[in-house]
Structure 1
Amino acid sequence: MTVSPSTRRTRSTIRAAFLLANVALVGVFIHQTMTTSIPTAGRAGLGEADGAVPDGVTVFDEKVPGVVNLDPELLGALRRAARAAAEDGVVFYVNSGWRSPAYQSQLLQEAISKYGSEREAARWVATPQNSPHVQGQAIDIGRSDATAWLAEHGAGYGLCQIYDNEPWHYELRPEAAEHGCPPRYADPTHDPRMQG
């Protein structure tokens, strides 16, 4: 069977787009691992009491402050969704949840050092005054199978991805169960809550 040149170009374009999307996704998950997997020690004495989450913690953990200090409605929605996801073999591991203002401030300073400016760091880390993590209203879910599950089913539980550049960051939007999740912001610098 002979394939026309236009069909070959179309297939080539689709393959290139697919490859580019996969490379971008890998980059995002590498960034997630580097910026949201937070060790429990080694950050100027800040640890679990300030919101650091050890590896292997799930949304059902009852002893880690990063989980139990989340807003009760957000935690309830996460646990309902996690029970449903478990039926599909998916576990909701927590990379980060509630954070103390001191911990958030330290993460921001690290991001400024890493990215070279406050403006660029703001694309990834909010100030302690504006961070929904400090308010207990945001969670960073670990592992791509869980974020993929939430992308498909999360709205039914009011759980919405907020930023395009952070597929692991979820917040509670109860109205999403009926109306779907609101449009995402490109990154936190486009979120009006982060201004000021």
Structure 2
Amino acid sequence: MDHTTPPQPEPCVVPPDAHTITIPAQPAAPPAAPAREPTGRRRAVRVAWVLGGLLALGATGAIGLDLLGDDGGKADTATPIAESASASASASASGPPKNDVDAPTDPSALTRPAYTAYNRIKADMAKEGITLSLTSGKRSWTHQQELWEEELKAKGSRQAAMRRVLPPEMSLHVHGLAIDIAPRAAQTWLDRKGSAYGWCRPYDNEAWHYEYKASYTKGCPTRKAGPWE
């Protein structure tokens, strides 16, 4: 009996990493695209930008016009604000005029055309030996309001008060286009010659009251009984 040990098979040695499965690296995912705003929202944003630009342009134009003046930069010709009691009422309905000084005995407070015409009549009266006296010219809105309220309280009715005083929204004294003068010789002179200078007496009941209007140089309008007409 052969006791020789038969050769043993060599053990199968498995390499340490034989069962390791290498998974290839996946490429990095591309960055997600930014979410698109809904079409309606994008359109609204564009419209808002367009409107904003138009508004900015409009504001710029308005500022330019304001700097130039309402007449587009034309020189101020000092056209009277109102030329009659009725016109004055509509022109003054919103309140006092810009030139709301109270200077009844200072003729220079009148509008420039009225002041120029006043100086002319004063000079021409003086040539005939008449001294023109301004008893009341440019009044402030507040002054006229006080006179009106006093007369209204004294007379008791609007129509009765208007026989001597007008409310500020109707008075041309407030706009520097009316004068009350003395003496009687100056009134008579202005009744006869005032139209040539733009001064006319509008009411029969106020011999001292005259109003200025450039077109009066063509002739005075028919005189009214009083300002209540």
TM-score grouping bracket, smaller chain normalisation: 0.5 to 0.7
**C-alpha separation in 1, matches of 2:144 and 2:215:** 28
* Residue 103 (str. 1) matches residue 143 (str. 2): yes
- CA deviation after TM superposition for structure 1 residue 186, in Å: 1.1
Aligned to 2:108: 68
Closer/same/farther in 2, CA of residues 79 and 185 from structure 1, 3 Å limit: same
Aligned to 2:163: 123
For residue 180 of structure 1, the aligned residue among 206, 219, 226 is 219
Structure 1's consecutive aligned runs of 4 or more residues displaced over 3 angstroms after TM superposition are: none
Q: Deviations over 1:22-65 (max 9, x none)?
A: xxxxxxxxxxxxxxxxxxxxxxxxxxx63343xxxxxxxxxx3x
Contact 1:51 1:103 in 2 (8 A): no
Higher helix share: 1
- CA deviation after TM superposition for structure 1 residue 142, in Å: 1.6
What is the letter of the counterpart of residue 103 of structure 2? G
Contact 1:164 1:184 in 2 (8 A): yes
Aligned to 2:202: 162
**C-alpha separation in 1, matches of 2:213 and 2:104:** 25
Find the residue that maps to 1:124 and give its secondary structure: coil
Aligned to 2:65: none
Q: How does 1:1-196 map to 2 (within 5 A)?
A: 50-53=102-105, 64=106, 67-177=107-217, 179-190=218-229
Gaps of 5+ in 2: 1-100
Amino-acid identity (%): 37
What is the letter of the counterpart of residue 224 of structure 2? Y
**C-alpha separation in 2, matches of 1:115 and 1:166:** 17
Closer/same/farther in 2, CA of residues 98 and 151 from structure 1, 3 Å limit: same
- CA deviation after TM superposition for structure 1 residue 119, in Å: 1.9
The TM-score, its normalising length taken from structure 2, stands at 0.53
Paired residues, number = 129
**C-alpha separation in 2, matches of 1:120 and 1:51:** 27
Find the residue that maps to 1:163 and give its secondary structure: coil
Q: Which has the larger radius of gyration?
A: 2
What is the letter of the counterpart of residue 186 of structure 1? A
Contact 1:173 1:181 in 2 (8 A): no
